[in-house]
């Protein structure tokens, strides 16, 4: 006869699972083992961890991966997908590390590797901010079964700043013409709309027909992008950066682009292969930027956000008032930005119509810093 298995182990498929009450606590989890002996060793370790924690206050070993998983499962952040991507990058470096051993020293290999890949300090700082948040929750919020925090204190993390942030590059009219003609048709239309509205890349990609609002008094329409996140059938709109609804007014060019898109897709203004494009900064964008011989940040091409810079600079060069520019650039104003009279809307439309063509008198002089040495 074979020996009896340890009580509390149940085989499901090829794997042994724990289902046992230990010191008043129900322990239900997979051992990850198909061999009974190894599964019993795993159970014994778990029982000893619970005993040590209960009798002596010794915390069980928790890895950073466990903490990251808890964070992703419980967080309601609008940027959670971005956080998941950065934690995936971090996992290879600190995933198996005990969370109490995560600090600047153990994070240094990650920082140096990403720097060597040409990743800017702003992106790395954004990743480390997620680590800092997880460590803070581990010290101040999360508690185990014995009411003990996961770690005693959260270590100080210094966010790198190598002063390598990309400088904005507003396009001249000639550069815009040269660059846009190298883009595929779908990106050309999106770029033309963006440079005439100042809408963020995310907003252009997500722009929906049900966000359009007709303004009969002015014989036109506008778009209102939701400030808060909204769940749709094909994904979650993360909301605007400042959490305010944003008004998107159309000048003659943006209006003509929108009219040309009608009937292409029932939901999205700028569809790509019958679905929503995730980003404008694609390989096609990068190739066109390089072919147009526009400046790059090292080996990286500048992205669509520079069209927003172009829009803002042209408004200023056209003499558009500061407060009007703030509204058109979707900067936080503290007002309910979607409540406008017809006269106020007309003022905004007139402002954006002032930058429609080169003949409008708007010109930009781009000053380039001479290379040292």
CATH value at residue 316? 1.10.443.10
d(CA 109, CA 127): 14
Mean pLDDT of 212-226: 93
Domain count across the chain: 3
Residue 2 belongs to some domain of the structure: no
Query: What is the reported pLDDT for 52?
Result: 67
Residue range 294-326, pLDDT digits in tens: 998 777 889 999 999 999 999 999 999 999 999
Block residue for tokens 């407060």? 323
Residue range 325-347, pLDDT digits in tens: 998 988 765 554 456 777 888 99
Residue range 241-271, pLDDT digits in tens: 778 889 999 999 999 999 999 999 999 999 9
Q: Which of 119, 140, 161 is the last residue of a domain?
A: 140
Residues 52 and 77 in one domain: no
Mean pLDDT of 18-33: 80
Both tokens of residue 208? Answer: 């929906």
Residue range 47-82, pLDDT digits in tens: 777 776 666 556 677 899 999 999 999 987 767 888
Residues 355 and 304 in one domain: yes
Question: Does 198 have pLDDT greater than 50?
Answer: yes
Q: Which of 94, 125, 140 is the last residue of a domain?
A: 140
Residue 50 belongs to some domain of the structure: yes
Residue 179 belongs to some domain of the structure: yes
Query: What is the reported pLDDT for 361?
Result: 47
Radius of gyration of the chain (CA): 27
Residue 149 belongs to some domain of the structure: no
CB count in 10 Å sphere of residue 265: 16
Query: What is the reported pLDDT for 98?
Result: 93
Mean of the per-residue pLDDT values of the chain: 87
pTM: 0.69
Residues 329 and 222 in one domain: yes
Question: Does 1 have pLDDT greater than 60?
Answer: no
Query: What is the reported pLDDT for 334?
Result: 54
d(CA 18, CA 12): 10
Mean pLDDT of 126-148: 91
d(CA 52, CA 60): 8
Mean pLDDT of 117-125: 90
Question: Does 372 have pLDDT greater than 60?
Answer: no
Range of the domain at 87: 64-140
Residue range 168-189, pLDDT digits in tens: 899 999 999 999 999 999 999 9
Query: What is the reported pLDDT for 194?
Result: 97
Residues 199 and 83 in one domain: no
Residue 178 belongs to some domain of the structure: yes
Residues 81 and 42 in one domain: no
């Amino acid at each position: 006869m074979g020996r009896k298995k340890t009580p509390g182990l149940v085989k499901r498929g090829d794997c042994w699972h724990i289902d046992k009450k230990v010191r008043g606590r129900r322990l239900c989890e997979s051992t990850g083992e198909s061999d009974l002996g190894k599964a019993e060793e795993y159970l014994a370790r778990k029982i000893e961890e619970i005993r040590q924690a209960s009798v002596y206050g010794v915390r069980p070993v928790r890895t950073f991966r466990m903490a990251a998983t808890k964070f992703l499962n419980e967080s309601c952040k609008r940027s959670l997908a971005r956080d998941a991507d950065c934690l995936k990058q971090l996992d290879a470096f600190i995933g198996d590390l005990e969370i109490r051993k995560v600090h600047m020293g153990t994070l240094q290999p990650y920082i140096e590797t990403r720097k060597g890949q040409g990743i800017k300090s702003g992106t790395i700082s954004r990743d480390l901010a997620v680590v800092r948040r997880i460590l803070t929750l581990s010290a101040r919020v999360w508690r185990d079964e014995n009411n003990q925090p996961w770690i005693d204190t959260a270590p100080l993390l210094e966010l790198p700043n190598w002063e390598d942030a990309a400088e904005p590059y507003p396009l001249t009219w000639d550069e815009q013409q040269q660059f846009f003609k190298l883009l595929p048709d779908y990106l050309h239309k999106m770029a033309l709309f963006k440079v005439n509205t100042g809408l963020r890349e995310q907003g252009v990609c997500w722009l929906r027909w049900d966000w359009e609002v007709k303004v009969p008094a002015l014989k036109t329409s506008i778009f209102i992008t939701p400030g808060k996140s909204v769940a749709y059938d094909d994904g979650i709109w993360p909301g605007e950066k400042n959490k305010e609804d944003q008004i998107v007014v159309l000048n003659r060019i943006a209006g003509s682009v929108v009219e040309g898109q009608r009937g292409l897709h029932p939901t999205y203004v700028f569809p790509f292969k019958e679905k929503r494009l995730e980003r404008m900064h694609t390989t096609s964008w990068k190739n066109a930027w390089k072919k147009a011989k526009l400046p790059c940040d090292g080996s990286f091409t500048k992205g669509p956000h520079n069209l927003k810079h172009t829009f803002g600079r042209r408004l200023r060069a056209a003499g558009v008032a500061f407060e009007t520019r703030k509204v058109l650039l979707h900067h936080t104003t503290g007002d309910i930005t979607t409540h406008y009279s017809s006269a106020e809307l007309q003022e905004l439309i007139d402002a954006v119509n002032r930058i429609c063509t080169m003949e409008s008198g708007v010109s930009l002089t781009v000053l380039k810093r001479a290379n040292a040495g």
